[in-house]
Structure 1
């Protein structure tokens, strides 16, 4: 048997004591609460282990006392099953131990953040994360007061604070870019966007030489500009980027990675502390199954993706979208109206996922339709410029059918 003065986690396992009627046993495992242990008792009468007749939770001090008592009574750990018991105990112990470690890490991070606050200035609370504020910039996005920071965005916001490279994947209109922009808007950080539309060159991205007034000048691209000025750079639709752009980007994917401007005599651009790098994509990783919906999207290897934290962003749930409608169009947008419109949007997205529709249905499109609907008092009339004119006739007919399924014609 393990000595009772060993660390408590080294005493996890099954302890048995032979009796005339069979064997009495105690099982020790980690309990849910920190520094507590679960003790289960039973009797094996020869026909197999009987039911647990004692089940209690004790602290470390009580466990040590129990171990001493069991040792006096002749209990010993089952050496034949010790390996299996330890494996089971480790499996049971993993989550409580992880929760303890996560709590300690969160406390350390909070202490570090408090130290940064004292030395750098203010923070703003976004979700459950304190985000350090920037110095302000002409490129700070406008705040959308109705924007909904869902609970699932907290990890992304934490990654931004920790200066991780974040890639957001999902269908068009799922709010990938707007999430980054609204975090930046509230924390007063300037944002640069570079759209990989197939026409973007490595010169646009990194920089190029040009002649002006008879003088040859170097013009920084968006990447070195963002790195020097401490801006947040969003590389939109990175799965459409040219290989030369991805090669240039790879150099700065590490948290403090530097950019080497070979065209400018190997000048090294070091990142400003406030610089952040993001990417969005439609057909990468978990979204690869939809590549046929995004013609021209390139495959990305795992070595490149492993340099990013990749998050799959789906559309808002109908309940979340109803809340956005109400907060954006208050006081005229009522809960019943918002619930119906959110259900229409959800049905349109389901049709898009089934490939019955060739166009996505973004929250932006829904808000535009709802705003025009409140002005005209007519869903069909409002849907003309907000929806139908933006899609093919076939898509318009299907969306019209979905709308009529949820909204009866006026009497």
Structure 2
């Protein structure tokens, strides 16, 4: 089979990539001889456009080889700027080095500012690559899970927490959305309140209500003003199931220093404590909207509301990460081969859930429970009864049993 002919218009142009030293480019033009091409090479630096340091003529076959090599090396074509705007092209290709320089400066300035802020604080704790200011111990501080794995992909979320951004975590059930926030709070000693939007939660539960006690009418704060006054971290779980009245109350405090007006209490204004943080979790919002049919009752959320949050999509741990969690949680008895196999089973179950072959998700919590029972009994099938099968439909149990047996031979088999 002969190689396809090169189309002149498709391959002429400026091929560019950003490097540490500047913008490297190859220019492809038509040579004097038929079916030949002129290749010019240069590197632009911050001081200006570089001169041509390589100038050669190649035939069509050699150009094909060059194009493949350039694609592997990260060059991209910019045919529109072959002759007309070389300086503009150089400016675009130099964007990333400039951005990295500015980001490094901003990061250094931020660290200096945070250091001054924490000098008078209760202390700091290192989480990921960030120093997180600590709060005061109290009954609402979650327990530290020493086996919890802080993946590098969580660093941006932790930084947003330090900066007092409103953070929404989206993802499938059991992906670890709530546990991430709780483990940051546990290590930095901040109390946490959780409000689950289960369809039964009223705006009174969330904001507050009047009640009569001992013949006296009293106001009872809901979870939102309680967290704001006391400097607690509030997690609104499954916010995509919340009533519109609750979302309306939340909107007032979505800005970092937003205040809550208690209209039912004579328009009392509740200002947020400096330690107050607001989080939300959701299963079927934004990038997860395609799975809304798996979460019956989930509500649509408009862009104006979502734009007030930093929204992060949390996927399940990778098999390698989950194997590490198993090893750390069940040490010293868990071994690497066992952990790797169990993590592979969980990954296959989640793939089946994504294909809608399974109607229930497979969380890391469920995997750990199964592994713990398995190590106690020495029997994967027996341990799977209370840890997995009894929690799902008979159809799901049969499919999960098949996945398990694909990885683990049944007891007594050769």
Range of TM-score over shorter length: 0.7 to 0.9
Corresponding residue for residue 208 of structure 2: 207
Does the CA contact (< 8 Å) of 1:192 and 1:233 recur in 2?
Answer: yes
Which consecutive unaligned segments of at least 5 residues does structure 2 have?
1-13, 52-80
- Map 1:328-343 to 2 at 5 A: 328-343=329-344
Does the CA contact (< 8 Å) of 1:39 and 1:58 recur in 2?
Answer: no
Corresponding residue for residue 152 of structure 1: 153
Corresponding residue for residue 389 of structure 2: 388
- Map 1:252-267 to 2 at 5 A: 252-267=253-268
Give how far 1:130 is off: 1.2
Provide closer, same or farther for how the CA distance between residues 219 and 41 of structure 1 changes in structure 2, counting only shifts above 3 A: closer
Provide closer, same or farther for how the CA distance between residues 300 and 43 of structure 1 changes in structure 2, counting only shifts above 3 A: closer
Which consecutive unaligned segments of at least 5 residues does structure 1 have?
1-26, 67-79
Secondary structure of the 1:146 match is coil
Corresponding residue for residue 275 of structure 2: 274
Provide closer, same or farther for how the CA distance between residues 304 and 56 of structure 1 changes in structure 2, counting only shifts above 3 A: closer
Runs (4+) off by over 2 Å: 29-34, 36-53, 55-60, 63-66, 80-84
Corresponding residue for residue 52 of structure 1: 40
Report the TM-score, using the length of structure 1 for normalisation. Answer: 0.84
Corresponding residue for residue 247 of structure 1: 248
Provide closer, same or farther for how the CA distance between residues 85 and 387 of structure 1 changes in structure 2, counting only shifts above 3 A: same
Question: Counterparts of 1:105 and 1:369 in 2: how far apart (Å)?
Answer: 46
Question: Counterparts of 1:57 and 1:320 in 2: how far apart (Å)?
Answer: 42
Question: Counterparts of 1:262 and 1:108 in 2: how far apart (Å)?
Answer: 41
Give CA deviations for 1:208-264 in whole Å, capped at 9, x if unaligned: 000111111000000000000000000000000000000000000001000000000
Give CA deviations for 1:94-147 in whole Å, capped at 9, x if unaligned: 111111111111111111111112232421111111111112221000000000
Corresponding residue for residue 112 of structure 1: 113
Secondary structure of the 2:181 match is helix
Question: Counterparts of 1:354 and 1:155 in 2: how far apart (Å)?
Answer: 30
Question: Counterparts of 1:392 and 1:318 in 2: how far apart (Å)?
Answer: 25
Does the CA contact (< 8 Å) of 2:44 and 2:50 recur in 1?
Answer: no
Question: Counterparts of 1:232 and 1:202 in 2: how far apart (Å)?
Answer: 19
Give CA deviations for 1:146-202 in whole Å, capped at 9, x if unaligned: 001111111111110111000000110000000000000000000000000000000
Does the CA contact (< 8 Å) of 1:232 and 1:278 recur in 2?
Answer: yes
Report the TM-score, using the length of structure 2 for normalisation. Answer: 0.83
Give CA deviations for 1:55-94 in whole Å, capped at 9, x if unaligned: 467675xx6999xxxxxxxxxxxxx977522331222011
Question: Counterparts of 1:320 and 1:123 in 2: how far apart (Å)?
Answer: 27
Corresponding residue for residue 19 of structure 2: 32
Corresponding residue for residue 174 of structure 1: 175
